[in-house]
């Protein structure tokens, strides 16, 4: 496995592979890898001739007062894990090369899809995501790019950008990987103390309960929302950022549950903000 930090070198490598007819799969990450990331890498390994994993903590997707500085980093451990997964290249560019002094080009998806949920709580976040993802696509030139359903809104936003800006690649969504007790894997889980880790189970538990309520016939979005809220509030430390139930395809608001819906949560435990979601089809 090769580690590339130079943008030019990465772009040249990809161009040569493409000329040779290889199918490149890209897995964009911010590193500190866990089984969730590795499931994306395994999917890419199955589908593609060559697998590139980018490891880059993207400063422009963090807001003021967010955890950019504290975000966990361990590139040598990441490289070991990726080597075991038979990735071909780890692309780990430097922030000063991705955003040199005077940098002023951004890519933004407008509308409801970026305005609600994490878009409302983290202004500018998705602009940072779509900008870095566009740059990674131009640099790594993937045929397929892999994103986790864990970040359901990000997956929708990236898909929309790729479609509307005619990027010549396909976005593949990969299911959420969870701990045995239901907690969705996240690099941020390392911030949780023991008590918070235990209380964070209200996320997956409330999603499961909502699914059961819908299975039992409830169709009123507000009633399902309140049910989720009641369960989350059994955790003394939980501070709810949002509980949203929207149409899964475009995050349009709903009053009744019909078709495919996305139930999405963002909740803070202490200073750690966790997200989780579930797709339900009726
Ligand atoms: P991150 O490093 O948090 O930016 O995540 C990189 C990619 O891994 C994103 O596409 C995430 O959606 C995905 N990912 C993170 N956690 C999980 C998980 N628990 N299950 C599946 N995919 C995940």
CB 45 within 8 A of CB 51: yes
Backbone CA torsion sign across 21, 27, 32, 36: negative
**CATH number of the domain residue 221 falls in:** 3.30.1300.10
Is residue 182 in some structural domain? no
Domain boundary among 174, 197, 214: 174
Pair (18, 154) in one structural domain: yes
Pair (271, 195) in one structural domain: yes
Identify the CA nearest to 275 among candidates 196, 193, 156, 185: 185
Query: Which residue(s) pair with 50 in the sheet?
Result: 24
**CATH number of the domain residue 106 falls in:** 3.40.50.620
Query: Which residue(s) pair with 145 in the sheet?
Result: 26, 171
Pair (7, 100) in one structural domain: yes
**Ligand 1 centroid – CA 158 distance (Å):** 14
Atom of ligand 1 nearest to the CA of 185: 19
152 touches ligand 1 (CB under 6 Å): no
Is residue 153 in some structural domain? yes
Domain boundary among 129, 147, 174: 174
142 touches ligand 1 (CB under 6 Å): no
**pLDDT at residue 225, rounded to an integer:** 98
Pair (273, 167) in one structural domain: no
**pLDDT at residue 154, rounded to an integer:** 98
174 touches ligand 1 (CB under 6 Å): yes
Pair (159, 208) in one structural domain: no
Is residue 179 in some structural domain? no
Question: pLDDT under 50 in the chain at which residues?
Answer: none
Pair (153, 192) in one structural domain: no
Range of the domain at 132: 2-174
Is residue 180 in some structural domain? no
**pLDDT at residue 105, rounded to an integer:** 98
C-alpha dist (Å) from residue 178 to 1, 38, 53, 127, 140: 28, 12, 21, 28, 29
Pair (92, 142) in one structural domain: yes
Is residue 56 in some structural domain? yes
Pair (161, 231) in one structural domain: no
**Ligand 1 centroid – CA 77 distance (Å):** 17
Distance (Å, whole) CA 122 – CA 44: 30
Total domains, the chain: 2
Is residue 102 in some structural domain? yes
Domain boundary among 119, 143, 174: 174
Q: What would you report as the CA-atom Rg of the chain, rounded to the nearest whole angstrom?
A: 19
Pair (13, 37) in one structural domain: yes
Pair (138, 16) in one structural domain: yes
Question: CB atoms < 10 A from the CB of 108, how many?
Answer: 14
Is residue 100 in some structural domain? yes
Pair (245, 114) in one structural domain: no
Is residue 181 in some structural domain? no
Catalytic residues: 37
Q: Is 236 exposed, middle or buried (0-12, 13-18, 19+ CB in 10 A)?
A: exposed
Top mutation candidate among 36, 41, 175, 185 for ligand 1, by most atoms within 8 Å of CB: 36
Q: Which residue's structure tokens are 């964009």?
A: 28
**pLDDT at residue 192, rounded to an integer:** 98
**pLDDT at residue 156, rounded to an integer:** 98
Pair (10, 134) in one structural domain: yes
């Amino acid at each position: 496995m090769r580690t590339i930090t130079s943008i030019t070198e990465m772009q040249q490598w990809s161009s040569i592979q493409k000329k040779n007819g290889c199918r490149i799969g890209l897995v964009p990450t911010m590193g500190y890898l866990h089984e969730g990331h590795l499931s994306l890498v395994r999917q890419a390994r199955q589908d593609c001739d060559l697998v590139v994993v980018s490891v880059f903590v993207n400063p422009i997707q963090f807001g003021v007062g967010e955890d950019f500085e504290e975000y966990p980093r361990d590139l040598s451990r990441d490289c070991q894990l990726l080597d075991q997964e038979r990735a071909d290249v780890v692309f780990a560019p430097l922030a000063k090369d991705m955003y040199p002094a005077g940098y002023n080009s951004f890519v933004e998806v407008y509308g409801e899809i970026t305005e609600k949920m994490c878009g409302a709580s983290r202004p500018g976040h998705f602009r940072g995501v779509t900008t870095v993802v566009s740059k990674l696509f131009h640099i790594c030139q993937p045929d397929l790019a892999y994103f986790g359903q864990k970040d359901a809104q990000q997956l929708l936003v990236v898909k929309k950008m790729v479609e509307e800006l005619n990027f010549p690649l396909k976005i593949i969504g990969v299911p959420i990987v969870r701990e045995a007790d239901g907690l969705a894997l996240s690099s941020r889980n390392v911030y949780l103390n023991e008590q918070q880790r235990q209380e964070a189970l209200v996320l997956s538990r409330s999603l499961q309960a909502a699914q059961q309520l819908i299975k039992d016939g409830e169709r009123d979005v507000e009633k399902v929302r309140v049910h989720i809220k009641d369960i989350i509030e059994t955790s003394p430390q939980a501070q709810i950022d949002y509980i949203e139930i929207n149409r899964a395809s475009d995050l349009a608001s709903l009053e009744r549950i019909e078709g495919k819906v996305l139930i999405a949560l963002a909740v803070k435990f202490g200073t750690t903000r966790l997200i989780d979601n579930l797709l339900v089809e009726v």
